[in-house]
Structures are given as C-alpha cells and as structure tokens.
C-alpha cells in the first residue's frame, strides 16, 4: 500500500513516542521562588541527563497525580534503536515553543546542517521541523528570504565556512539575506565574507581551525572594532 507523507510522519511519531515512554524515569520540580506551576506545558523544560549523573545524583519520588508530563532523558544502557534515540535527543535539544522563537542565526545553521550542506547526511524530518519554525509567523517574510538565498550560486557556500565560528551568528538577522541578493554585488560580498573568515581563522586563531567552534558571542562582541596593530589599548 502506498504511504502518504502524513502516514510516514505519523508512523515515525508513534515509534518515537513508544521509545520515549520506554525511557521515562520521572518528573522534577525545580522552581523555588514562585512555586512550581506544574500543569501548563509552557512551564515545562525538556532536559537531558547523563546516565552516570542520573544513577549517582538523581532521586525519584512517585507523584500522586498524573498532571506532570513525562520527562525523557538518556537511558542507562546503550539504545537498541540508534535512529530513534538520536531523534529523541535532537527533539529535546531543539525544542522551541511557539512563544519562544529561536535566534535567526541558529535557524540558519540548523537548516544548512539538516539539509546536508555541512558534512553530515541530510535529515529531512529535522530540516522540515526547522522550516516549520521559520514559517510559524505568517506575517514574516524570512521564509521566502532564506529559500531564495539558498538558491544563489555562491553566497550560501561562503556562508557555510563562517558557520564554523558560532559566535559570529549570535546577532544575525535573516532579513539581511534579502538585502544582500538585492544589491547584486556578489564579488564584493564574497570578498568581505572571505575576509571575515581569514581574520578569525588565520590571524586571531593562528590558523587553528579546530579552535573555531570555541569562539562564542561574547568573544566576538569584545573583539569588534578593535585594532591592536595601531592601538596599544586594544
């Protein structure tokens, strides 16, 4: 029988839910000042706990009611279904409520990652989830800006090289992509992007590509507008 896209989605969702329930250990109350508002899902935070820490530091107390949702975490034994386990971990780490939109830079990075542009193979389900996040606000044009930008011949590939430096993306705005395309100054933009990469990798990090992932938003912020070559204070 031919399975529709919805059938496939529901099948994966059921398998993931069954796997999640098999790894459920309990629920925790962590709010001390206001008290723990337990019923509404907006007050719940998904958490991953290392198996070693769970065995050594976490204590479980039975709840007298069923108001708390299940809290999934890493199992104590290696998972028997790696794909489901990876999907569960990703869904927990990348969960965003409708009221809490993730930063533009993170959206861009995840889309490139899950569409297979940064090394790992494509993950269609994960990419679809991030496209859905981007399209959550029907008044926003960001979805169209990103889709058009990804079709460009050269700019997205140059951006990929900068994704190695996570701190550069903290203040990114997806609306800028539309402006870049509208300028029709590809050569100048490509030179500028390559210059940014070269300064960070070759000059600031001394050519050590492996250090790029350690550059956070704070580091980028304090380095901006510094000119150590001509300023003793910098």
**pLDDT band, residue 46 (cuts 50/70/90):** low
Inform me whether the pLDDT recorded for 188 exceeds 90.
Answer: yes
- Picking from 63-72, 159-168, 211-220, which range would have the lowest pLDDT averaged per residue? 63-72
Distance in angstroms (rounded) separating the CA atoms of residues 44 and 38? 7
220 and 170 Cβ atoms separated by less than 8 Å? yes
Inform me whether the pLDDT recorded for 97 exceeds 60.
Answer: no
Distance of CA 51 to the CA centre of its chain: 23
| pTM of model > 0.85 | no
Nearest to 89 by CA among 100, 109, 77, 75: 75
Q: What is the mean pLDDT of residues 217-232?
A: 83
Distance in angstroms (rounded) separating the CA atoms of residues 51 and 57? 10
Residue whose tokens read 């569409």: 115
pLDDT in tens, 122-177: 888 888 888 988 888 878 899 999 999 999 999 999 999 899 898 998 888 999 99
Inform me whether the pLDDT recorded for 91 exceeds 80.
Answer: no
93 is written with which tokens?
Answer: 């780490």
Inform me whether the pLDDT recorded for 36 exceeds 90.
Answer: no
92 and 101 Cβ atoms separated by less than 8 Å? no
- Picking from 22-31, 87-96, 145-154, 221-230, which range would have the lowest pLDDT averaged per residue? 22-31
The torsion angles phi and psi of 10, rounded to 5 degrees, stand at -65, -35
Residue 152 confidence (pLDDT): 93
């Amino acid at each position: 029988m031919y399975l529709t896209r919805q059938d496939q989605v529901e099948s994966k969702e059921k398998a993931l839910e069954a796997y999640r329930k098999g790894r459920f250990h309990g629920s925790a109350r962590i709010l001390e000042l206001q008290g723990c508002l337990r019923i509404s899902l907006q007050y719940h935070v998904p958490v991953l706990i290392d198996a070693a820490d769970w065995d050594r530091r976490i204590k479980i107390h039975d709840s007298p009611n069923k108001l708390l949702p299940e809290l999934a975490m890493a199992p104590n034994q290696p998972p028997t279904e790696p794909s489901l386990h990876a999907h569960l971990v990703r869904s927990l780490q990348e969960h965003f409520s409708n009221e809490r939109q993730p930063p533009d830079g993170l959206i861009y990075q995840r889309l490139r990652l899950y569409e297979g542009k940064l090394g790992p193979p494509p993950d269609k389900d994960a990419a679809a989830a991030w496209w859905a996040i981007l399209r959550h606000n029907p008044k926003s044009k960001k979805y169209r800006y990103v889709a058009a930008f990804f079709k460009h011949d050269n700019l997205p590939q140059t951006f990929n090289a900068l994704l190695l430096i996570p701190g550069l993306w903290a203040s990114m705005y997806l609306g800028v992509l539309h402006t870049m395309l509208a300028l029709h100054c590809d050569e100048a933009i490509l030179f500028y992007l390559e210059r940014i990469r070269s300064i960070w990798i070759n000059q600031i990090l001394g050519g050590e590509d492996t250090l790029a992932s350690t550059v956070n938003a704070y580091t980028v912020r304090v380095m901006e507008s510094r000119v150590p070559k001509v300023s003793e204070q910098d």
